[in-house]
Amino acid sequence: MVEPYRGLYAISNYWQRLSYKDKVLHIAIPLTQKIKIKEWKFTGETAAALKGFEVIKLYSNQPKAINIHVSCACADKNLTDTSEKSTKKIARRQLKRIHLPDIIEDENGIRLEECYKRCKKPNSPNTCDSNVKTCKHTNEKKTSTFGHIKTMEEDAMSHVASTYNTLFVEAWTNPFRIALPTFDSASQKGENLKKIYNVCSEFYRFARYQYNASQLQDDPYLRKIDNPYFSNIDYTDALSRLKLLCNFASAKSENAGESLARATIIELGFIVPQIQYEFPNNKNPNYPLRADFAWNVNGNLIVGEFDGTDKYLIECGKSSVCNISQESSKNTIITDLHEENMLLRYDRDAVRKERDRERYLYDCGVSKIVRFDFAEVIDPQKLEQKLTLAGIPKAYK
């Protein structure tokens, strides 16, 4: 047995097979029953997972203890104790309380949650600007749920912060390339990221600087690169980080693997690729062929392909032991010899299909095809070498 969170237990083999996102869900959903303060709301990557957004951690960098982020309008009174012992105790907590009121949007307009007004000090920021409807308490009429017993998942969803709050916290608690898949999937699900940034920049100006923010870039090699995209960004500036992610996010990204690859390409300072570049499909004109990435370089079309068998392997990075189905958000772990043989047969078929695909892309005018896999994406130096050899220029050269 393992204890991933105090008082929550799981069978060790089962737990190890879960994706990072599913681990977060397995903690957050039952934890809802333990949270007695209803004003606490899940936020950051915890809320993102509950909302169905992509949430990843690189396998080698997965923390031993998974942090659960909650947003609350009132400050943690224990934070006033600045002793070394108290500071270490707070740092060890898996439940990370963030003093940040939620942003509420309904028929009365957009406002900070009401309880913040009861907690705020005289020098705290105003709850809303003059052009936004007032923050007066409203007795909202709720649809009757008589006869309906909430599932644990539904109960957890009732404790989730708004997407404004969720993405604002995600922007400064995770490095760029870990956060971008979450923003891509939010865009895929119809979230208006431009509006999210504008609303957050209006209501969260007081929380702009987060001095405990994560590094913007998680890899030491990436931090050494003179990157024009990040040159004017203070990593403690949450709004600048939010704007950066909103600007680079794309609904075209098909999965977290592609998002991670694109984020790494951006962090390496290469010119930003076009995503899901279309080519005509003579066999079925209604369904054009798509390349993962494409660059037009001096009249030459260079295509980048994130290898199919590794596209969904965010957690394990080994196609022989882990396969994530496109039809499910769950990981299907290969534990049976028969299943493993089936996967190997699929791989041989995939090689043949990719060769046919490459020939067709060259016939369509592609000058070069550069292929890379998950192992190269998580090793930025190797990916940089491969893209440079393919002729992809850096943005600042």
Residue 199 has pLDDT above 60, yes or no: yes
pLDDT one-digit tens code per residue, 210-261: 999 999 999 999 998 888 999 889 999 999 999 999 999 999 999 999 999 9
Domain count, the chain: 1
pLDDT one-digit tens code per residue, 150-167: 788 888 888 999 999 999
Q: 3-class DSSP state for residue 105? A: strand
- Is residue 83 included in any domain, yes or no? no
- Is residue 190 included in any domain, yes or no? no
CA distance 41 to 351: 47
* CA 217, chain centre distance (Å): 14
Strand 274-279 to 109-112 pairing: unpaired
* Arithmetic mean of pLDDT over the chain: 81
More confident: 176 or 58? 176
CA distance 334 to 318: 11
- Is residue 28 included in any domain, yes or no? no
Helix or strand run (H / E) with residue 278: strand 274-279
Instruction: Domain of residue 295: give its range.
Output: 270-316+343-396
- Is residue 192 included in any domain, yes or no? no
Q: 3-class DSSP state for residue 166? A: helix
- Is residue 353 included in any domain, yes or no? yes
Lowest-confidence pick of 128-132, 204-208, 252-256, 386-390: 128-132
CA distance 56 to 343: 24
- Is residue 276 included in any domain, yes or no? yes
Residue 128 has pLDDT above 70, yes or no: no
- Is residue 307 included in any domain, yes or no? yes
- Is residue 292 included in any domain, yes or no? yes
Single-letter code of the amino acid located at 357? R
